[in-house]
Chain A
């Protein structure tokens, strides 16, 4: 049981309408690790998370979490599974009408019958873990971007989930907040014994904290490996991505007619 992967993608296909997003993705993620899924913008990374959370169903193939096939679960079973998951949305998605304390306490109050005094202790512990115990009375609008991300992190681990998904946890953060959040993800994963999945395009920061990396491009996994393997990789796409080169397998230009055609220079023959 301990050796079986927590999450398995088997030949997953998915499309929004007629536009295919994922084309036969195979992945397996083991417990207790921090796994990054990297890829350019719009390559379907976030869709992977939504498949794990059961927000959308694959058009072919299957996603299984802890041995359960997500899209075959009933609504109640899915909700029960989601209680064991945490998710950190791109910009935190804190409830703007609740204070920091109430945000973290939200799931405890909704899902458990714990007495208020115990909830208070638990919330302060979670906030302490992200270093914001002193900010528990603030409203989300009073927080900086990095603080909001940390509160959201505290909220996503409120019920001690087995799995936390991070959607672009580093987007829009200054370098200090960035390494604070990165360090927190690593430390919390280790101390709480959970599994973390990062969807990101911040290569340098993530390579420092993750155990395993998947590269997603055009809906397929083009490469995967440990951070060291990735840094040394000679696969053209990985090389371009890791070293941030503008041209390579990922073209600079969006698919178009030839330049001369678009500018009308190609119609010389009519003259």
Chain B
């Protein structure tokens, strides 16, 4: 009994030590990526390529999801607000929820599962097929040539995607409430404009999505680089990217929200 307890405690300790070690390793890796980012910026085409793969190819899913999320928000918001006779405030509701929360968060979740997982799988496969080692033997640092451009491509794409998500969402809300249901168009926009503040709502939303972009791409490139060079290792790393990113996004969202909107309105 005592021995079992000891084994149990040891396994808990082992896991804790292991994950702390991994966290430190990941941090060091990301610092290394930042340090080696200069060549990527000098040859911006490398980053352009990654913006294409991370950003442009995620556009469809971001736009379609944004439209539907906005439409649902409009419908649900209208259902609730009309009970209080204030259905013209539906524009405010749609815009604020999208700009402050849903835009950055859902766009980041979609980005993690669309672009983040692809990044992990690509880097993991390059490692498994010795492409990274081959590059090293050609006297080209794979972190500077492969990892850093992908990292920055993701970091640039994320806020833009989140902004597009919010805009299509607002358009979706407009479509449902104004065009289909018939809420007054003027009050839809004017109430929205008087409630949404540029500095406190929009800029904070963009800052949020910037944070999410850094976190998601950092997780994606690290998991890819750290993946065991086997088919199973790569597939596990891909799964871990999506799961860890999702948890990180939601946790970080709470922390950022607590800092940003404390004591204001």
Binding site for B on A (CB under 8 A): 53, 55, 79-80, 82-83, 85, 87, 89-91, 93-97, 106-107, 110-111
Contact = CB atoms under 8 A, between A and B. Distances in A.
Contacts of A111: 138-140
Nearest to A106: B138
Interface string B125-149: 1100111011111111000010000
Contacts of B131: 93-96
24 contacts: A55-B136, A80-B139, A82-B136, A82-B137, A82-B138, A82-B139, A87-B137, A89-B133, A89-B134, A91-B129, A93-B129, A93-B133, A93-B134, A95-B126, A95-B131, A95-B134, A95-B135, A96-B126, A96-B131, A97-B122, A106-B138, A107-B140, A110-B145, A111-B139
B129 A96 contact: yes
Contacts of B125: 96
B42 to A, nearest CB: 13
B144 to A, nearest CB: 10
A107 B138 contact: yes
Nearest to A158: B138
Contacts, number: 46
Interface residues of B, number: 15
Nearest to B49: A97
A240 to B, nearest CB: 30
Nearest to A159: B138
A87 B134 contact: yes
A79 B144 CA distance: 14
A79 B140 CA distance: 8
Nearest to B138: A107
Contacts of A87: 134, 137-138
Q: Across chains A and B, which 7 residue pairs bring their CB atoms closest together, nearest first?
A: A82-B139, A93-B134, A93-B130, A79-B139, A87-B137, A89-B130, A83-B139
B129 A110 contact: no
Nearest to A85: B137
Nearest to B145: A110
Interface string B83-126: 00000000000000000000000000000000000000010011
